[in-house]
Structure 1
Amino acid sequence: MTPKSPFTFLDGLFERIASGPQPPEWLVHEVQHRAVLFLNHVLMQEPEAMERLGSQSGRIARVQWRAYSMALQITPAGLLDLASASATPDLRIEVAESSPLSIAKGAMRGDKPTILIDGDVKFAAEINWLVDNVRWDLEEDLARIIGDAPAYAIGSVAKRVAQALRSFVASMPFSRGDV
């Protein structure tokens, strides 16, 4: 008998929450603005990423997952800005996996979710380069706030915790498709 995952109850939880009352428009807008600020913070740590994006200035990418979407416009500086929801995108990126639990399990294994892409091929190639090459350096950001030594210690612990989680997920029956 194949053991069942103790997390199967989570599969339907997000769907039950998402089918309920939707967040107010102002909250969605604020979350999107915060996401853009975070993405720009990460991009500003990578001059090559900004240079590559700058060559796509004015282009719009619409990112979609389930009923949630966000239109991002590339600025001349190689950063991101929210585009109008009615703007015609040059590139559409849709996350095909609808279950957040499946996405999280895949991420813990180091897998990327299945993505459906439609639009400009060159623009898609630049976005793909960003996904493959740009990483947030949490340790560097922490060092600015609390100093190098404590940031290094926290970073080391975080890496060990992440590795332990990956090992745990890899050993679970649900990570091998047995559920």
Structure 2
Amino acid sequence: MAAPSSPFAFLEDLLGRVGQHLQPPAWAVHEVQHRVVLFLNHVLQQEPEAQERLVRQKGRVVLFQWRGFNMRLQATPAGLLDLAAEGATPDLTLTVTESSPFALAGATLRGDKPAVQIEGDVQLAAEVNWLVDHVRWDVEDDLARVIGDAPAHAIGNAARKVGGALRQFIDKAARSPSKPASQTE
């Protein structure tokens, strides 16, 4: 019997089996997607160049897929995003190929982009890539509007230290040699 390749193998297997049988209701999925669009638009409104680039793509639909989840986004004439109709034909399909949520989270914490399969319009794919590379949420700035500059800066510093520690932990775990799998005969 082979030993698990990561300490989270049991959890990954459990989540995979549970996820196959328990699906959220359609209204909950729609509400979460709507909240994601509101958040993305909030971030986009802080980047005028990003909005200009999206204006040039108005009406174009991008389908994002990961495991059993998908989301269709459409660029609006205002340079923002909206949910596209469920049956809308995508101009671009982006499928995250990493199926493990733990591996995906680890790659994200290391600052790596996940592996993505791209199908469709190359120009639109280039614009999406530019947005991913250049648009960032300034959490500290948003927090400062609520609690003030000094506390927001202190929280931001603490969060950066925690993030750095998590990255070091993940890097150390990735570099440590895994134990060879035992074999039964």
The amino acid of 1:16's aligned partner reads: R
The answer to whether the aligner puts 1:111 opposite 2:112 as a matched pair is yes
The answer to whether the aligner puts 1:138 opposite 2:139 as a matched pair is yes
Secondary structure, aligned partner of 1:159: helix
Aligned to 1:48: 49
Alignment partners' CA distance in 2, 1:171 and 1:31: 34
Q: How much does 1:177 deviate?
A: 7.5
The amino acid of 1:66's aligned partner reads: R
Q: How much does 1:112 deviate?
A: 1.0
Q: Which runs of 5 or more residues in structure 1 are unaligned?
A: none
Q: How much does 1:111 deviate?
A: 1.3
The amino acid of 1:178's aligned partner reads: S
Larger Rg: 2
Secondary structure, aligned partner of 1:135: coil
The amino acid of 2:141's aligned partner reads: E
Contact 1:14/1:100 (8 A) holds in 2:
no
Q: How much does 1:109 deviate?
A: 1.8
The amino acid of 1:98's aligned partner reads: S
Matches within 5 A, 1:15-26: 15-26=16-27
The amino acid of 1:139's aligned partner reads: E
Q: TM-score, normalised by structure 2?
A: 0.90
* 1:4 to 1:22, Cα distance in 2 relative to 1, 3 A: closer
Aligned to 2:171: 170
Range moving further from structure 2, 8-17 or 40-49:
8-17
Secondary structure, aligned partner of 1:19: helix
Alignment partners' CA distance in 1, 2:4 and 2:26: 42
Aligned to 1:94: 95
Aligned to 1:12: 13
Alignment partners' CA distance in 1, 2:160 and 2:116: 27
Secondary structure, aligned partner of 2:27: helix
> What fraction of aligned residue pairs are identical, expressed as a percent?
59
Aligned to 2:183: none
Aligned to 1:82: 83
> In the comparison of the two structures, how many residue pairs are matched?
177
